Structure 1
Amino acid sequence: MGGALVFWVGVVTVGICVGALFAFKGMTDPTLWRTCSVLSVTCCYLMWAITYLAQLHPLIIPKRDDLRIDL
């Protein structure tokens, strides 16, 4: 998969945010709904991307635990 997945999911996220700008036309307070929708999608994407990239390129390489003594 690699880092390109983060880019493509980002493109989908931008598409969802643009769609949310036009989705809430007939509601009582469309600005509030648009803002909440865009912020929610953006925060979810950022959390996913940071977690995915942290697992893709870890700062500390995990060590094997083969030296465990069974009692």
Structure 2
Amino acid sequence: MSSGAEVLYVLIAIAGLCVATWFVTPKGDNQTVWRSSIILTLVMCYLMWALTYLSQLHPLIQPTRSDLRPEFAEGYSEYYGME
């Protein structure tokens, strides 16, 4: 897929899971604790995934090769417009 739309699709899925969690949690004294724990876990996992995915999709720094010999590295960087 490799576009930002995938982030929105996963967000919709996570929102659905959060709504399902709200209704499926067992009744009792700790119902609020269960709900909060599960929903916060889902949201935080989504945020970490989305940040990692988007940072790889649109990197801020262009990768450079460090395995080239110095005499070839100059031509490489000039050819690809790195410097």
TM-score by length of 2: 0.75
Structure 2 unmatched ranges of 5 or more: 71-83
**Could you tell which deviates more after superposition, 24-33 or 52-61?**
24-33
Superposed structure 1 runs of 4+ greater than 4 Å apart = none
Residue 55 of structure 1 aligns with an amino acid whose one-letter code is: Q
Deviation at 1:66?
4.6
TM-score by length of 1: 0.87
Q: Which residue of 1 aligns with 2:60?
A: 59
Bigger Cα Rg: 2
Aligned-residue CA RMSD (Å): 1.5
Choose between structure 1 and 2 for higher RCO, CA contacts under 8 A separated by at least 6 residues: 1
Of 16-25 and 35-44, deviating more is: 16-25
Q: How does 1:1-71 map to 2 (within 5 A)?
A: 1=1, 2-68=3-69
Show structure 1 runs of 5+ residues with no match: none
SS at match of 2:43: helix
Comparing 43-52 with 57-66, which one deviates more in the overlay? Answer: 57-66
CA shift digits 1:2-47 (9 cap, x unpaired):
1110000000000000111101143441110000000000000000
